[in-house]
Amino acid sequence: MGSTAQPLAVPQPRAIAPLPTRRAPRPSNVTLKFTMALTGTVFALFVLVHMIGNLKVYTGAANFDDYAHWLRTLAEPLLPYEGALWIFRIVLLAGLVAHVGASAILVVRARRARGRFRRTGMNWRRLPATLMPWTGVVLLVFIVLHILDLTTGTRPIAPQSFEPATETTSHAFANLVASFERWPMALFYIVVMVMLGLHLVHGLWSLVTDFGVSGRRLRQVWAAVALIFAAVVMLGNITIPVAVLAGWVS
């Protein structure tokens, strides 16, 4: 057959327009979560150590004041008076700024992603998670009031009788007792410690997810650790204003 075969018309690929993509947000959610987990771990250790130190009120005024004085003279003469304390303060403050900053960005992003849709119905098991931003804000306000109350002695937050620490003495015990003898202040501390417990239990529980732990057994164990840790810090601290109000520590 002499007919010439027509070449098949091969469809030419059309230039594919790139899909509209959003630029990945910076810093990434993973970086923010990791920052929160790391700084949160530092705070959890701080509140545990601070609670253990606070329990020294039960060993008497002299021991408690000695402990407060020791914190200020730690690592002397290598560091000046309050040098080590200032290092702790700067580390904690930097951690606080990073923790609060990262959480604020994550909350805004989550709200934006969720749009109009809201979770409905209340699940009591999720209460600590739901309350995280609120317990966080309460703790932030508490830290400011607490420092005015027992560290700087700024009235009217601090008790009238507040006496500042000097290079040779500390009045931490008398200041603490005078503060908690005011029942509204004692009640405020108790309520905040419950908030701290809720914040800690969810924060600690989230660590396993943030650090990428997926084993079922380990996650179960960690849930129990988080609960016990939070309960110990919360109850240990709560005993102090209660003991002062009851007249057991005076």
Q: With contacts defined by CB under 6 A, how many residues of the chain interact with ligand HEM?
A: 23
Alpha-carbon gap, residue 58 to 55, rounded angstroms: 6
Structure tokens at 190: 């108790």
Q: Which two tokens stand for residue 157?
A: 């937050």
Query: Quick count: other Cβ atoms within 10 Å of Cβ 54?
Result: 18
d(CA 89, CA 74): 14
CA dist list (Å): 106 to 28, 35, 90, 200, 247 = 10, 11, 24, 18, 45
Candidate residues 146, 223, 225, 245; the one interacting with ligand HEM per rule CB under 6 A: 146
Q: Is 196 in the site for ligand HEM (CB under 6 A)?
A: yes
Check residue 158 for interaction with ligand HEM (CB under 6 A): no
Q: Select the residue interacting with ligand HEM from 35, 39, 103, 237 (CB under 6 A).
A: 237
Q: How far is the CB of 192 from ligand HEM (least distance, A)?
A: 7
Q: What's the number of CA atoms in the CB half-sphere (13 Å) around residue 238?
A: 15
Tokens read off for 118: 């809201």
The H or E element spanning position 35 is helix 29-54
Query: Which residue in the set 37, 102, 139, 200 belongs to the binding site for ligand HEM (CB under 6 A)?
Result: 139
Q: Minimum distance between the CB of residue 218 and ligand HEM, rounded to whole angstroms?
A: 28
Interatomic CA distance for residues 20 and 158, integer angstroms: 58
Q: Is 178 in the site for ligand HEM (CB under 6 A)?
A: no
Span near ligand HEM by CB under 6 A; candidates 21-29, 123-131, 140-148, 199-207 = 140-148
**What part of residues 48-77 is at the interface with ligand HEM (CB under 6 A)?**
50, 54, 68, 71
Write the DSSP string, 173-194: HHHHHHHHTSHHHHHHHHHHHH
Neighbouring residues of 233: CB distance < 8 A, sequence distance ≥ 6: 47, 48, 51, 196, 197, 200
Which of 28, 152 has the CB closer to ligand HEM?
A: 152
Q: Are 57 and 240 in contact (CB under 8 A)?
A: yes
Closer Cβ to ligand HEM, 193 or 226, answer by number: 193
Q: Of the two residues 29 and 232, which places its CB atom closer to ligand HEM in the complex?
A: 232
Which residue, among 92, 78, 65, has the nearest Cα to 169 in the 3D structure?
Answer: 65
Q: What minimum distance in Å lies between the beta carbon of 208 and ligand HEM?
A: 22
Q: Is 143 in the site for ligand HEM (CB under 6 A)?
A: yes
Judged by CB under 6 A, which stretch of 7-15, 27-35, 116-124, 168-176 contacts ligand HEM? Answer: 168-176
Nearer CB in complex with ligand HEM: 29/143: 143
Enumerate binding residues for ligand HEM (CB under 6 A).
47, 50, 54, 68, 71, 85, 89, 139, 143, 146-147, 150-151, 165, 170, 172, 176, 189, 193, 196, 237, 240-241
